[in-house]
Structure 1
Amino acid sequence: MADVLGKALLEYHQGKYSEDIKTYSSLDEEDSIPLPYLFRSFEEMPALEQKALQMAKGKVLDVGCGAGSHSLLLQEKGFQITALDQSDGAATVCRERGVKSVENCSILDYDKDKFDTILLLMNGIGLAGTLKNLGAFLKHLSTLLNPNGQILLDSSDIIYMFEQDEDGGYWIPNNGQYYGEVMFTMEYKGQKGSPFPWLYVDYNTLQNACLANNLDCELILMGEHYDYLAKLTVK
């Protein structure tokens, strides 16, 4: 499978920036991920991410770490942090940028250590892929927590992307799927990656999934556009 994200991150890191990553989804037209945004400073991060970094404690696992911007900020503050990403290119960039502990694998294949904080930022819970897989995904994350550990994640309720009628209800396609399940494809410099499922989960649905998997779910902060930061702890 082409590591489209990794290739783009590596080239940006090497000073060869000429274009951004294009994304195609089952929801809308073509969009893009600006590469500089993946290398952003604390000041450039949205309030939800800033708040999550301020709440981090103890040993930290940064899941889907990308270029390692969150990991580096916490490492500079003295945290013992492990950055994890399935993308080979992302893992290489993290190492080259100075992240001391980097794991290059899927979070579902990881079981080496336990942590006080697990970060799933930039909608990292999307890695669960589908609503059906969310329970097993949360269960696996729970096994990686130390006693009194926490999972900090942000996500969005993408209901706003559907048409609204006069009564304020939304027209959601009745295809048996949860409306937050999206298929994505990334493209960089003419090379397309394989399509992958991604999950945006509204807060109530996340709460219910937590309830079913012995987790407490607390709403920490609402963002400006249907997004939120939540803190999960084992009951």
Structure 2
Amino acid sequence: MKDILGSALQDFQNKKYTDDIITYSSLDEQDKIPIPYFFRTYDELPKLEQKALSLCRGTILDIGCGAGSHSLYLQEKGFDITALDFSQGATDVCKLRGIEKVVHSNILDYNGTKFDTLLMLMNGIGIVGKLTNLNLFLSHLKLLMKPNGQVLLDSSDIIYMYEEDDDGGYWIPDNKEYYGEVEFTMEYKGNKGKPFSWLYIDYNTLQRAALANGLECELISEGDHYDYLAKLTNAKQ
């Protein structure tokens, strides 16, 4: 079972839901991801995600769409939405749920079409993996944006997860290039997937990277637990 997420989403869609995904992280934490979380209705979404959906305009690419709940909502609102995910199981579920435009691809391999809105929710920027990959990733997003396009993304500043010293600083392991880089492994029904890198990026670091790549970065809103919603646009000439 290589496609851990996709297998879990397919089981839920096919009414075979019995287990949740277990995650193991480099932060020495074990956690669970309830599969129904990927199938939330609009009213069940956190306010940051609802805000992002309200800001969507024009043609939209939902990057890392998962089970397609955001795409489905936007499609029902009449938007021209394309749902994209690297997981074959996820894109199969999107099709079963009635999403009309679905693409199975790594975002870095996808090109040729430009959009008014690139949507990356549920910490969608996490797929960058490592901070050193961010410049390449942002450069690719620019190729997918129309001149007046926008990127809407959310992330979290996870500095709070590290131990604070008496001087107000934090103990960051020496082997970390950036404290927001986390290694995850997912397990579903006794099957473990391959470890993968996931990036949680603080807003100031995101803003600096955006400016370095000719993008303007705006903080739209902040959540209740170190999370935030940001908008990237092409810098004005």
Alignment TM-score, normalising by the size of structure 1: 0.98
Report the residue type matching 1:199 in the other structure: L
Q: Aligned residue for 1:69?
A: 69
Offset of residue 166 of structure 1: 2.4
**Secondary structure in structure 2 of the residue aligned to 1:169:** coil
Worse-superposed segment, 24-33 or 85-94: 24-33
Matches within 5 A, 1:76-115: 76-115=76-115
Secondary structure of the residue that 1:94 maps to in structure 2?
helix
Aligned-residue Cα RMSD (Å) equals: 0.9
**Residue 2 (str. 1) matches residue 15 (str. 2):** no
Tell me the amino acid that sits aligned with residue 201 of structure 1: I
Matched with 1:190 is: 190
Q: Structure 1 residue 220 and structure 2 residue 211: aligned?
A: no
Q: SS where residue 216 of structure 1 aligns?
A: strand
> How many angstroms does 1:12 deviate by?
0.4
Per the alignment, residue 45 of structure 2 pairs with 45
Aligned residue number for residue 177 of structure 1: 177
**Structure 2 runs not aligned, ≥5 long:** none
Deviation at 1:159, TM superposition (A): 0.1
Write the deviation string for residues 151-190 of structure 1: whole angstroms up to 9, x where unpaired.
Answer: 0000000000001122322111122510000111111001
Q: Report the 3-state secondary structure (helix = DSSP H, G, I; strand = E; otherwise coil) of the residue aligned with 1:127.
A: helix
What per-residue deviation string (whole Å, max 9, x for no partner) do you get for residues 130-155 of structure 1?
Answer: 00000100110110001110000000
What amino acid maps onto 2:159 in structure 1?
A: I
Q: Provide the C-alpha distance between the structure 2 equivalents of 1:148 and 1:33, rounded to a whole number of angstroms.
A: 36
Supply the AA of the counterpart residue of 2:59.
Answer: K
Deviations 1:61-98 (A, max 9, x none): 00000000000000000000000000000000000000
- AA aligned opposite 1:6: G
Name the aligned partner's letter for residue 175 of structure 2: N
Give the Cα–Cα distance (whole angstroms) in 1 for the partners of residues 52 and 38 of structure 2. Answer: 17
Query: Map of 1:107-126 to 2, 5 A cutoff?
Result: 107-126=107-126
* Structure 2 Cα separation of the partners of residues 176 and 75 of structure 1: 41
Which residue of the partner structure matches residue 149 of structure 2?
149
In structure 2, what is the Cα distance between the partners aligned to 1:6 and 1:146? Answer: 31
1:139 counterpart residue number: 139
1:51 is paired with a residue whose SS is helix
AA at the equivalent of 1:98? G
Moved more, 34-43 or 166-175: 166-175
Once residues 112 and 189 of structure 1 are traced to their aligned partners in structure 2, the CA distance between those partners, rounded to angstroms, is: 38
Equivalent-residue separation in structure 1 for 2:221 and 2:209 (angstroms): 19
Aligned length: 235
- Counterpart-to-counterpart distance in 2, 1:70 and 1:164: 37
Letter in 2 for 1:93: V
Q: Matches of 1:221 and 1:5 in 2, distance apart?
A: 29
- Unpaired stretches in structure 1, ≥5 consecutive residues: none
User: Structure 1 vs Structure 2: percent identity of aligned residues?
Assistant: 66
The amino acid of 1:168's aligned partner reads G
Mean Cα deviation higher: 167-176 or 9-18: 167-176
3-state SS of 1:122 partner: coil
Which shifted more, 108-117 or 163-172?
A: 163-172
Residue identity matched to 1:29: E
